[in-house]
Amino acid sequence: MTRVGNLLRADFFRLWRSKSFWACMIFQVGTGAFVPVSCYLYAIQNPFPSSQHLDEELLSFLPFECILAALFCTLFIGTDYSDGSVRNKLVVGHRRWEIYLSHLVTCTAGYLLMCVGYLLPYLAVGIPLFGFLQKDASTVLAYLGATLVLTVALTSLYAMLAMLISNRSVSAVVALVLSFVLLLSGSYLYSYLNYPPTYTQLTYDPVTGAMVEKETKYPFYLEGTKRDVYQLLCDVSPGGQVMQCTAWDAPNLPLLPVYSAALTVVTTGVGLWLFRRKDLK
């Protein structure tokens, strides 16, 4: 355990000096302070009740965080490859699983700090403008808990890619493409699940000469088994979880951390297995 502790200390020392980490952190802090101000200005111009709640954008950092995590993990771990540090750690006697887990823990900590970097300024600026959160504490904690486990799952996914692809530029591109695929697929699934069952159609009545409103079945509304399959895919996929948590609209909220934890275990296990067989010459 002493060797793991030494690796963690070295990685956290690199984290505090990482330009990519601080660039992401500055972006998150700036976004957290800017979002409530922009929402407040919008609420003044468009005084709708729903636009005046602090809750609305509390978790809106998740889509951006999904992209930032891809960049941060690949650049942070890729630097270790490009500097030759990974090979040096093996030469001095560190085991591959120790190196892998040290990077995973460090990247997870950095990712969580970025989340806090958004939430603290958001609340600090937003509470004086909007007041406290409207949702009850149990709901807020449940969504924050799901977000926390999702954060760990995303980090484990990107860390696996970064540990298996030695070239920093290639791993960054692959992780970025994956992040956009996750977000787009999640948005697709979530949008289909939110189509209304019916919509109001205006038709012309030639007898009365008036326009008549008629409720018509929405052609894209999902029902039965197909809806269950779409909901399951939306719950399991990280992109689907991002969309549901951002909108505070997760019908199966207690299951989301379970799926995220399962993804973490799978990606970490696969990553460790492949990294042990990776040629680092």
Task: For CA atoms 77, 161, 8, 109, give the dihedral sign.
Answer: positive
Low-confidence residues of the chain: pLDDT under 50: none
**Tokens (6 digits) for 184:** 């787009």
Closest CA to 183 of 264, 267, 62: 62
Residue 204 has what pLDDT? 58
Share of the chain above pLDDT 90, in %: 49
Residue 270 has what pLDDT? 94
- pTM score: 0.87
Q: pLDDT tens across 173-220, in order?
A: 999 999 999 999 999 999 888 877 665 666 655 656 566 566 666 666
What SS3 state is found at 87?
Answer: helix
Eight-class DSSP state of 253: G
Residue 199 has what pLDDT? 58
